[in-house]
Amino acid sequence: MPLDLIFPPRCALCGAALAMGEGLCAACWSSLALPGEPACQLCQRPLPSEAKSHHAEHMLCAPCVEKPPLHKGVAAATLYNDTSRRMVIAFKYGRKVALARLMGRMMAARAKARGVGEGWLLVPVPLHRWRLWGRGFNQSALLARELAQQIGASALVDGLHRLRPTRKLGGLGAEERARVMTGVIGVHPRRAKALQGARVLLVDDVLTSGATTDACIHALHSAGVAEVVVACFARVDGGTLA
């Protein structure tokens, strides 16, 4: 007897029955906000519709023009909305780790469009060991492993580590987030040689103000990486993502 007859496939988010396979039902899928055009060619921030009249390669948002980002581009699978928020919460706090496969596939498509492929190193944003012990897994590391399989690259899940614990950043403004994250993240000493001269895809679940991302990129640059592209499942449209 086919296994699907005993355990019918369900939507990973709402639990609705699926005709076949795995993933999201049509309603949940259609409620995701996917990055489109026009958008900033560096950070993927949506731009006003009139920006379509400009050449795509020159379309940059005001924050990226005012303060050029440390990264070479953002590859975001979705724009942050209620559906992507629920997926992240289910994945990170609801322990629905099977969502990593779906989220990773969506992120991989965007990363490939940014030129990420074989020869790149995929490095997740690290958790402090206290938070890792409490949660049991680093969601960014799971996504990095899934992305590595999809892209055909290598994951260096312990490339970065947190030097000290920090308060949660939720509810803080961009400047306060940056202050909290200053000097928090470093390169793992055993991985410094592997990172030297490497092209790195920095992996996280949600990109918000960019404070954590910046802290990671500063650490990677200190190890002599050649370039950094940022991959995330959901990108918050607001604040400075440099």
pLDDT of residue 176: 78
Query: Which domains does the chain show, CATH number per domain?
Result: 1-31 (no CATH), 40-235 (3.40.50.2020)
Query: pLDDT value at position 20?
Result: 64
3-state SS record for 19-60 = CCCCCCCHHHHHCCECCCCCECCCCCCECCHHHHHCCHHHCC
Using CA atoms, how far apart are residues 99 and 87, in angstroms rounded to an integer?
A: 8
Determine the pLDDT at residue 130.
Answer: 79
Per residue of the chain (242 residues), what is the pLDDT tens digit?
A: 344 445 567 888 888 888 666 788 889 999 999 988 888 888 888 887 766 555 555 688 888 898 899 999 999 999 999 999 999 999 998 888 889 999 999 999 999 999 999 999 999 999 888 787 888 899 999 999 999 999 999 999 999 999 887 767 666 667 777 777 778 899 999 999 999 999 999 999 999 878 899 999 999 999 999 999 999 999 997 644 33
Tell me the three state secondary structure of residue 185.
Answer: strand
CA distance 141 to 138: 5
The pairing of strands 185-187 and 74-79 is unpaired
H/E run at residue 206 = strand 199-207
- CA-to-CA dists, residue 144 to 156, 188, 205, angstroms: 8, 17, 10
Q: Which two tokens stand for residue 231?
A: 């991959």
Residue 240 CB-density burial (10 A; 0-12 exposed, 13-18 middle, 19+ buried): buried
